[in-house]
């Protein structure tokens, strides 16, 4: 048996392992090809340079436009949490790529104890320790630090959300839920949504699940209260966006770019079916500028998003087929080599790290299936832990087959995988442990020989 003291000691070791592995991944492999003065495009550029500009007082703007022509084009391509986090480091002079990479790796390290706590609540301390070490060794958890992507922040927020939700659910079942459970769950949902927009859906589902099975009116009041609490941290960002764009923008307006690049002939047929094609986005972006040369970025996003939605309506019969390819790509069942190349070219994740992440994911799949099967008997554990995976499936199905869009589901696979491993270990111990009859016969035999 592992007591609390040993549990946290092992979790601390796992955190140290995650820190060392994350830093080594940055030191021993090529860095993200960004430059502090002359900026390339891409999300890593958006976050890294955008954080420095935010720290300098420029607000949330398109960094590459600013460096090219000095224009402060307002932007909300992504929710703000990760950029604000990096900007805090920039304020203290830690502005280059290396410090921002280390800062992002620290997010992965901070994820470990929350995964461990969630797993412990699911199936005991041993499962918690197993989950901590699986997360520490899984490149799908820590590899985003090197390439400066918000997935590290999103994965941390998902781990916090699940750990909080499992605690709240257990207290609801025991009949000892208080207003502080409502507050903590609401805050966890809010910060998750501020890390990635699709996590608002994830948090909403979890919020309902936590209070299910209770009387209708008290359940309704608590769900509404959770929603109100979750809106409080989001309100300043939403209000800020509504004040600076011509079109309504709430958490983010990056969906226009994504839909424009994933709904065109090139991504519905041929070798790129189910993926993304930048030329589709670029072509529609030029159309938007010609149609409204004085429009801001929200106008452009709405224009190209409308074109994409019209394309979807014109190709409704193709949606099931294309969605199937998107899911098969993101979850590793179609064109594995293509996904490795896409991880390297699009997201700048090295092939060695990417391959290790994929193989770890494949290894976790059967173990996670076993863990989910075991957890179905637990009161609402299964739907809570499954929700990030469900959210990832929905996100991929309506966008494209990106490994990044599957990232939030890694928490689900780690938790269920740890539960599956613990179940196997228990079975092995039971088969090796002699039964009462064997013990008695051994005592009799020993007595007779003595």
**How is 113-165 classified by DSSP, letter by letter?**
HHHHHHHHHHH-HHHHHHHHHHHHH-HHHHTTTTTT-THHHHHHHHHHHHHHH
pLDDT at residue 347 in the model: 67
Can you tell me the mean pLDDT for 31-35? 46
Range from 113-122, 205-214, 257-266, 408-417 carrying the lowest mean pLDDT = 205-214
Q: Tell me, what's the pLDDT at 448?
A: 40
Between the CA of residue 145 and those of 25, 46, 403, 413, what are the distances in Å? 9, 15, 15, 20
Instruction: Please report the pLDDT score of residue 449 as a whole number.
Output: 38
Residue-averaged pLDDT of the chain: 88
CA 178 to chain centre: 28
pLDDT band at 233 (very low <50, low <70, confident <90, very high): very high
pLDDT for 312: 96
pLDDT band at 441 (very low <50, low <70, confident <90, very high): very low
- Indicate whether 254 pLDDT > 90: no
pLDDT at 118 over 70: yes
Average pLDDT over every residue of 404-417? 95
What's the average model confidence in pLDDT over 76-98? 94
Report the alpha-carbon distance of residue 353 to residue 142 in Å, rounded: 10
Q: Helices 410-432 and 351-375: crossing angle, nearest 10°?
A: 60
- How far is it, in rounded angstroms, from Cα 264 to Cα 125? 49
Q: Strand (E) positions, 274-356? A: none
Reading phi first (left if > 0) and then psi (alpha if -120 to 50, else beta), residue 303 is in alpha
Q: How confident is the model at residue 213 (pLDDT cuts 50, 70, 90)?
A: confident
CA distance 86 to 89: 5
Q: What is the pLDDT of residues 126-153, one digit of tens each?
A: 999 999 999 999 999 998 988 889 999 9
Q: 148-162, 340-354, 390-404: lowest mean pLDDT where? A: 340-354
Q: What average pLDDT score do residues 36-55 get?
A: 76
Reply yes or no on whether the pLDDT at 100 is more than 70. yes
Residue 165 has pLDDT above 90, yes or no: yes
Secondary-structure percent of the chain, ordered helix, strand, coil, rounded to 5: 75, 0, 25
Average pLDDT over residues 200-229: 90
User: With 50 as the cut, is the pLDDT of residue 443 above it?
Assistant: no
On the question of pLDDT at 33 being above 60, the answer is: no
* pLDDT value at residue 259: 94
Determine the average pLDDT of the residues in 291-315: 93
Residue 373 exposed, middle or buried by CB count within 10 Å (0-12, 13-18, 19+): middle
The widest CA-to-CA distance across the chain, in whole angstroms, is 100
Cα torsion 258, 264, 267, 271: sign: negative
Token code pair at residue 35? 């430059």
Measure the CA–CA gap between 80 and 97, rounded to whole angstroms: 19
| pLDDT number for residue 442 | 44
Of the candidate ranges 34-38, 109-113, 177-181, the one whose mean pLDDT is the lowest: 34-38
Token digits for 238? 């939403």
Question: 44 vs 32, 101, 148, 297, 405, CA distance in Å?
Answer: 8, 10, 5, 19, 15
């Amino acid at each position: 048996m592992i007591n609390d003291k040993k549990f946290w000691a092992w979790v601390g070791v796992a955190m140290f392992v995650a820190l060392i592995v994350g830093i080594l991944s940055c030191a021993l492999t090529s860095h993200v090809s960004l430059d502090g003065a002359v900026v390339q495009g891409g999300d890593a550029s958006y976050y890294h340079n955008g954080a420095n500009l935010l720290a300098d007082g420029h607000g949330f703007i398109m960094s590459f436009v600013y460096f090219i022509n000095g224009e402060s084009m307002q932007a909300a391509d992504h929710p703000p949490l990760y950029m604000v986090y990096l900007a805090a480091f920039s304020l203290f002079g830690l502005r280059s790529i290396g410090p921002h990479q280390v800062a992002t790796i620290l997010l992965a390290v901070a994820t470990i104890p929350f995964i461990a706590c969630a797993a412990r609540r699911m199936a005991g301390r041993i499962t918690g320790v197993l989950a901590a070490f699986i997360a520490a060794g899984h490149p799908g958890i820590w590899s985003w630090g090197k390439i400066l992507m918000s997935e590290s922040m999103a994965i941390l927020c998902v781990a916090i959300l699940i750990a909080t939700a499992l605690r709240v659910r257990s207290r609801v079942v025991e009949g000892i839920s208080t207003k502080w459970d409502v507050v903590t769950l609401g805050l966890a949902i809010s910060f998750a949504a501020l890390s990635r927009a699709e996590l608002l859906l994830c948090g909403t589902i979890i919020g309902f699940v936590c209070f299910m099975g209770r009387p209708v009116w008290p359940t309704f009041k608590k769900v509404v209260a959770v929603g109100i609490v979750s809106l409080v941290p989001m309100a300043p960002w939403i209000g800020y966006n509504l004040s600076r764009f011509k079109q309504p923008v709430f958490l983010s307006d990056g969906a226009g770019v994504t839909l424009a690049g994933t709904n065109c002939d090139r991504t519905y047929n041929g070798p790129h079916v189910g993926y993304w094609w930048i030329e589709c986005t670029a072509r529609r972006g030029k159309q938007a500028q010609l149609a409204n040369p004085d429009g801001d970025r929200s106008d452009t996003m709405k224009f190209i998003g409308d074109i994409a939605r019209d394309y979807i309506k014109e190709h409704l019969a193709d949606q099931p087929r294309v969605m199937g390819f998107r899911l098969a790509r993101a979850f590793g069942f179609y064109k594995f080599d293509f996904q490795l190349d896409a991880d390297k070219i699009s997201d700048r994740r090295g092939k060695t790290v990417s391959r290790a992440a994929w193989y770890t994911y494949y290894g976790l799949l059967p173990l996670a299936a076993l863990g989910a099967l075991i957890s179905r008997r637990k009161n609402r554990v299964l739907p809570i832990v499954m929700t990030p995976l469900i959210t990832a499936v929905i996100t991929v199905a309506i966008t494209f087959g990106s490994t990044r869009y599957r990232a939030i589901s890694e928490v689900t696979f780690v938790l269920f995988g740890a539960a599956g491993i613990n179940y196997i270990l228990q079975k092995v111990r039971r088969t090796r442990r002699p039964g009462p009859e064997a013990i008695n016969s051994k005592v009799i035999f020993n007595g007779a020989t003595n």
